[in-house]
Amino acid sequence: MDRITEAFVWPFRDPEWAVKLLIIALISLIPIAGQINNLGWMLASLDRLRAGEERLAPANLSYLGRGVRVYVVVLIYLLVLLAVGFAIYLPGLALAVQQGHGQGNAALIAVAIVLNLISFGVFTLGSLALTFMLPAIILATDTGGIGAGLRIGDVLRRARVNPINTLIAGLMLIAASFVGSLGLIACGIGILFTNAYAVAMQAWIVRSFEIGSTAHTAG
């Protein structure tokens, strides 16, 4: 993925970057709708990158329709992950509570611990897997709608076309998430601005993934 590290700097090439990021940061204060709009804004910025224009999309509240599809798809994946994790965790919790009354059975306590560990692994590894699949999910959903984004087989195939491409994109998304949280560390309200900056980074990351997977397929 050539130039992937430029995800950190490309938003600043727009002369109006500060105003745009500030507006997106303020929009993000709107519960749910703000996050949906920001996803749509990221996709609109992705369109500009596809056109060879390294400028952020105009910052406004007009991207709800485009962002809602990605929001719904990612939410469904998260709910499935939570359902699987809790399906393993809750029986372990019930066993632990049951064995906590009176003299517990060592074998059942061990089973409860194992179930809790497995559920933790499902939550952790599942979240990582979703992060690494996210560029493929976003591109599939933006192109083909909610149904395309939920066709897990197609999403996995796209992610596996170029494993290194997928790995780097996932790591960069994790880096973008870390950057988004820096505002909370430095100054509580600053997280709004750094979150908007992280969304702009995501547009470059998804575009770089798209170029890498397309080039690999063509080759």
Residue at 96 is within a domain:
no
Residue 119 lies in a domain: no
**Cβ–Cβ < 8 Å for 1, 208:** yes
Average pLDDT over residues 171-186: 80
| Mean pLDDT, range 28-50, rounded to an integer | 95
- Domain span at residue 210 reads 4-72+130-218
From 13-22, 35-44, 94-103, 205-214, the region with the lowest mean pLDDT: 94-103
| pLDDT exceeds 80 at position 217 | no
What pLDDT does 198 receive? 93
pLDDT band for position 188 (cuts 50, 70, 90): low
Which pair of structure tokens corresponds to residue 69? Answer: 């599809």
**Phi-psi domain of 36 (left: phi exceeds 0; alpha: psi -120 through 50; beta: other):** alpha
Domain membership flag for residue 12? yes
**Nearest Cα residue to 21 out of 58, 73, 52, 61:** 58
Split into its structural domains, the chain has a count of 1
Count Cβ atoms below 10 Å from residue 51 Cβ, excluding itself.
9
Q: pTM score, two decimals?
A: 0.89
Residue 32, pLDDT above cutoff 60:
yes
Predicted confidence (pLDDT) per residue in 139-168, tens digit: 999 999 999 999 999 999 999 988 998 999
83-115 pLDDT, tens digit each = 999 999 999 888 888 877 766 678 888 888 899
